[in-house]
Structure 1
Amino acid sequence: MYIICGSRAIRLLVVVGVLFIGLMGQIDLFAQLPPAFQQVDGMQVRHDPRVRKYVSPIRVHWQSIADEQFISNPSYLTGPNRGQAVLASQQDFCILRSSSSVKPSILLDFGITLHGGVQFVTGMTGNKEPVRVRVRFGESVSESMSEIDTIGGATNDHAMRDFILPLPWLGAIEVGNSGFRFLRIDLIDEDRELILKEVNAVFSYRDIPYLGSFKSSDERLNHIWDMGAYTVHLNMQEYLWDGIKRDRLVWIGDMHPEVSTINAVFGFNDVVPASLDLVRDITPMPEWMNGISTYSMWWVIIHRDWYRQHGDLDYLKAQKSYLDQLTELMVSRVEGNKEKLDGTRFLDWPSSENPEAIHAGLQAMLIWAFDAAADLYGILQDPRKESQAKSMASSLRSYVPTHGDSKQAASLMALVGLIDAQKANQEVVAVGGVKDFSTFYGYYMLEAKAKAGDFQGAIDNIREYWGAMIDLGATTFWEDFNIEWMENAARIDDFVPDGKVDVHASYGGYSYEKLRHNLSHGWASGPTAWMSRHVLGVEVVEPGATVLRIQPNLADLDWVEGTYPTSKGVVHIRHERKSDGSISSEIKAPSGVVVQVVAPGK
């Protein structure tokens, strides 16, 4: 992990009118309430699985004026973190003072992108009236310095990241829910003094262990694996979100890479079934999940993958009624052997203006979904529905549309066997390296390269494409990225020098234009799942991951080691290249897990 935080006691907050309770662990909430509340009929109590930690800034990145008359001792804010206002000498506290012409500002850096809000702890001034400040959260320095307008794309959509807040005299207040690394504070009233004892980030997250791990002879790959895991972890809030700043919503298609990463890193977590069920329950037939036909297909595929990893047959059985209806809906949107899907026809944003690619991708997605449905019906012992799903997949495979030179479409077609994987890689996916990669479908481009046996090419792509975001100062992976953005680009964790390009404020399109662009987006975590699957070499064979097939593909790596979670415990794995070029493997599996070792790749 990137942050070491001091521990805090769990707090129980009861507010008359709006009741919110956050407790750690799996406990009976109602039993923890005061007796008076247990006697109120009809009360609903929601368990919040998250915890809060209070994180001090690592530095004051900028201040609007150097004159101590207006800003004094700002570095104090990087010091003690107790969260308590005190009746004590406050000569060392940070003090902001305004005049009729000067309104001071500071910019704090918390060192890493996190999800949550901010805690202000104030001192004792002569004037007891609340002091108003403007608060601006930013995933980049540019965003934290921005205005909400129609030019730069900054927004308060889904979460307030730019607002005015009154601060109390000699007290503490917590506010905000967003994704951010930087926090700008402006004193906005004239002739006021603000004494700041503390400004802490309130880090809200699930306190869960990283059961899976990955380390290799390449530190860049290690950093990428870790960053993908952390990006998904931030989006595991009460539900599994797209982004922690904007798009704090459950999008089922976007969940597939996230769930793949969760399986490899955290093992079982109830955020996945809760999110799957939420979207199922708000999507009556014949609607598509999130209004997008492929997203309902991803729901089927995720359920197949989730069952393989965790083996919860009772949970799978609870999906059968909806699965039956969804399968019939998919069948009804096929004419002959071709897809005729309605709803929003969508793969990912960069492919959205290529109708040939969309048609080819939808054809492949239907095949993938019917294959997954057939697997599920086999498990659920429904031979009629299993036969129907297999028949639909077979019929759809008899028609091969053109991929429109789209890496997205070609990758999907290769993965379901519509086109030869090696041919798809050589003629489309590998052309131009990471040119036209995307953070969402980049995962399936890597998977297509693995199917083609191009493990070295995939690893090189990971280093170049996802590594480029790290080179620009990212601490989490982004909603989208184009390798062409690297030309003359400035880092996002500092002010943009003259003559350099502000990546966050200049690029992005569709729903993520400029500063609206999420810089922590779970669908970009594909390399984490991919490296556990193909470099560490772990393939789940039987439900609950009770049987694993392990085949490493080291490419140019000297060694790789890591862990993988199963329903029986954690498997420890190490592969090392010997002097003669062969690969030796050491594997320690818990009781109840059978490991099938396959001859290593190169």
Structure 2
Amino acid sequence: MAFTFQINNDVVWDYDKNLLERAEANIPALLETEVRPIRIVERIPEDQRANDFELRESEKNILSLNDYSLGRDESLILDLGDHYVGQFSVDIASVGSPMDAPLYLRLKFAEVPSELYADSADYDGWLSRSWIQEEYVHLDVLPATLKLPRRYSCRYVELTVIDTSPKWKASFSNPLFVAKSSVSMDQLSAVTIEDEELKAIYNVSVKTLLDCMQTVFEDGPKRDRRLWLGDLRLQALANYYTFNDLFLAKRCLYLFGGMRTNDGKIPANVFTEPELTPDDTFLFDYSLFFVTSLFDYVEHTKDYDALENLYPIAKKAVDLALEQVDSQGRLVLTEDWPVFVDWSNDFEKSTAGQAIMIYTLKRFLKLAEAYNESEKAHYQQLLNQMVDFSKQALFDTEQKQFIIEGTNEVNVASQVWMVLAEVFDKRTNKRIMREMMKNHFPIKGIATPYMYHHVVEALFIADCSEEAIKLMKDYWGKMIELGADTFWEAFKPEDLEFSPYGSPILNSYCHAWSCTPAYLIGKYLLVNK
């Protein structure tokens, strides 16, 4: 099953006023930092650059910016020196004869150079072109301060004069970017990472997380600027090992708890502006990640008040999911409530979905114990059925791999999620992962750090730490080699031009589900070191 836009107009929503008030009580005040460009850069001709992630420093000096006046079709690219999320302003004056026509200006904001090489007019993808960070502005009178009202996610700001008149040019000065986040690098505890590659990966992971931490854990500050459950689960884990902002984690859990369908189904994502609104998109595994995210939060904080408030919602989510499980312990997925697992449509996802259900039930049982759940034995029995079915019907003892029932397909996601669910013991899990690596490494056809995260964590769980570290370095480290300041939504090492939208101009190059090396390094490599 592939991810597609869902439109469910017949959904009836239940808004829990008490839970939403608790969510709103935890809205953070955004911290603001003034950032000024550090240099002027320029494009590299196609026949001279190795890839589209390169720019070169201009001979123009950023300290003399106002000396470089621009006329028709002339431009400058300002480099902020790092990735930021916030608002931009610049002072503009006219130079030369009196201003006899308006200034027609284009501003383009880019997270990475490939967005600057792409032509917006060529975009014809399935996502709305309104996400393109590009503004066209007319200014009738100069001098003026142009302060753009929108928020941007970028490192580079390109100023292009579409037209003035032959009599005068535009001069720019005092460019200012006001960066915003709910957290600061000052909140981080000092960590010692001796491996330089891992240290760099850790630092970029932290910056990715910081830029995604706004009034909620956003999935991407460029696009979609929403709170998604799959991203929240991973962001919260990374947050616990870095900024440890418990108020933001609590806020996000209460938002999902406070907006659900009248039968208890939890949406895959929610909007917070202009008002709190649940999206009519439902993903089977994402609904379960509310349960696991609550478990992670309670385990980390011992916040039993939150458990008291949110446990009934978690229980209902589990009950709804269990309606998809037959009497043998087999998960039966349906088209109207698909499992996501990963964007890729190159593999079948039912076995991974089965494992995610098991993974969730194990954590729900721990919540149930803390809540003094009277029906705990019932859930334990259902868990045992699902585990037994997985071992007997979905595990091929000759291949030492989990399969897709009916087709015998063997894929990475099936092995990874069954190992994360710890259906077998560590010794067997290690054999499963080694067999998977033998047949499926290097990984092909998977383009998200989301799925790569789960592969790496499964390797750690299966006591394959060397392989886990190598995969982190090969995947996230490759993004750094290409100049990443923050980690990307989608990346195929074998295809640097890959975009799920048909153009890099719509890719998100700072994305929540990509920040997890900070968690992986913190949990598996720094503890007790």
Is the pair's TM-score, using the shorter chain for normalization, greater than 0.5? yes
Taking the aligned partners of 1:353 and 1:311, their CA distance within structure 2 comes to: 41
Question: Cα 1:213–1:224, aligned 2, differ >3 Å: closer, same or farther?
Answer: farther
From 50, 56, 69, the equivalent of 1:96 is 69
Worse-matched range after superposition: 261-270 or 172-181: 172-181
1:133 equivalent to 2:105? Answer: yes
2:312 aligned counterpart, secondary structure: helix
Worse-matched range after superposition: 518-527 or 257-266: 518-527
* Deviation, structure 1 residue 58: 1.6
* Deviation, structure 1 residue 308: 0.9
Matches within 5 A, 1:51-66: 51-62=31-42
Q: Which residue of 1 aligns with 2:284?
A: 293
Matches within 5 A, 1:545-584: 550=528, 575=529
Contact 1:442–1:526 (Cα < 8 Å) also in 2: no
Matches within 5 A, 1:188-587: 188-191=162-165, 192-208=168-184, 209-284=186-261, 285-290=263-268, 291-336=282-327, 337-342=329-334, 343-350=337-344, 352-355=345-348, 358-384=349-375, 386-400=376-390, 401=394, 402=403, 404-419=409-424, 420-429=428-437, 431=439, 433-436=441-444, 438-485=448-495, 503=496, 506-509=497-500, 514-537=504-527, 550=528, 575=529
* Deviation, structure 1 residue 130: 5.6
Q: Which amino acid letter does the alignment assign opposite residue 346 of structure 2?
A: E
Contact 2:92–2:170 (Cα < 8 Å) also in 1: yes
The total of aligned residue pairs comes to 449
Q: Which runs of no fewer than 5 residues in structure 1 stay unpaired?
A: 1-43, 65-72, 80-91, 486-502, 538-549, 551-574, 576-602
Contact 2:264–2:313 (Cα < 8 Å) also in 1: no
1:324 aligned counterpart, secondary structure: helix
* Deviation, structure 1 residue 383: 2.8
Q: Which amino acid letter does the alignment assign opposite residue 73 of structure 2?
A: K
1:186 equivalent to 2:160? Answer: yes
Taking the aligned partners of 1:398 and 1:157, their CA distance within structure 2 comes to: 48
- Alpha-carbon deviations, 1:416-440, whole Å to 9, x = none? 1335311221111464544246411
Taking the aligned partners of 1:241 and 1:340, their CA distance within structure 2 comes to: 31
Taking the aligned partners of 2:151 and 2:453, their CA distance within structure 1 comes to: 29
Worse-matched range after superposition: 157-166 or 370-379: 157-166
Question: Cα 1:46–1:534, aligned 2, differ >3 Å: closer, same or farther?
Answer: closer
Question: Cα 1:103–1:415, aligned 2, differ >3 Å: closer, same or farther?
Answer: closer
* Deviation, structure 1 residue 74: 9.2
* Deviation, structure 1 residue 348: 0.8
* Deviation, structure 1 residue 201: 2.0
Percent of paired sites with the same residue: 19
* Deviation, structure 1 residue 316: 1.6
Question: Cα 1:166–1:77, aligned 2, differ >3 Å: closer, same or farther?
Answer: farther
* Deviation, structure 1 residue 281: 2.9
TM-score of the aligned structures, taking structure 1 as reference length: 0.69
From 74, 81, 85, the equivalent of 1:115 is 85
Q: Which amino acid letter does the alignment assign opposite residue 201 of structure 1?
A: F
* Deviation, structure 1 residue 455: 0.9
Q: Which amino acid letter does the alignment assign opposite residue 99 of structure 2?
A: N
Worse-matched range after superposition: 155-164 or 367-376: 155-164
Q: Which amino acid letter does the alignment assign opposite residue 248 of structure 2?
A: V
Contact 1:410–1:429 (Cα < 8 Å) also in 2: no
* Deviation, structure 1 residue 450: 1.4
Taking the aligned partners of 2:62 and 2:193, their CA distance within structure 1 comes to: 38
2:40 aligned counterpart, secondary structure: strand
Q: Which amino acid letter does the alignment assign opposite residue 143 of structure 1?
A: E
* Higher normalized contact order (CA 8 Å, seq sep 6+, divided by chain length): 2
Question: Cα 1:143–1:427, aligned 2, differ >3 Å: closer, same or farther?
Answer: same
Taking the aligned partners of 1:45 and 1:256, their CA distance within structure 2 comes to: 21
Question: Cα 1:365–1:137, aligned 2, differ >3 Å: closer, same or farther?
Answer: same
Question: Cα 1:363–1:292, aligned 2, differ >3 Å: closer, same or farther?
Answer: same
Question: Cα 1:47–1:95, aligned 2, differ >3 Å: closer, same or farther?
Answer: farther
Contact 1:146–1:154 (Cα < 8 Å) also in 2: no
Q: Which runs of no fewer than 5 residues in structure 2 stay unpaired?
A: 1-23, 45-57, 269-281, 395-402
Give me the CA root mean square deviation.
2.8
Taking the aligned partners of 1:450 and 1:63, their CA distance within structure 2 comes to: 41
Contact 1:252–1:276 (Cα < 8 Å) also in 2: no
* Deviation, structure 1 residue 513: 5.2
* Deviation, structure 1 residue 452: 1.8
Contact 2:417–2:458 (Cα < 8 Å) also in 1: yes
- Alpha-carbon deviations, 1:135-163, whole Å to 9, x = none? 11112223124332454759765745112
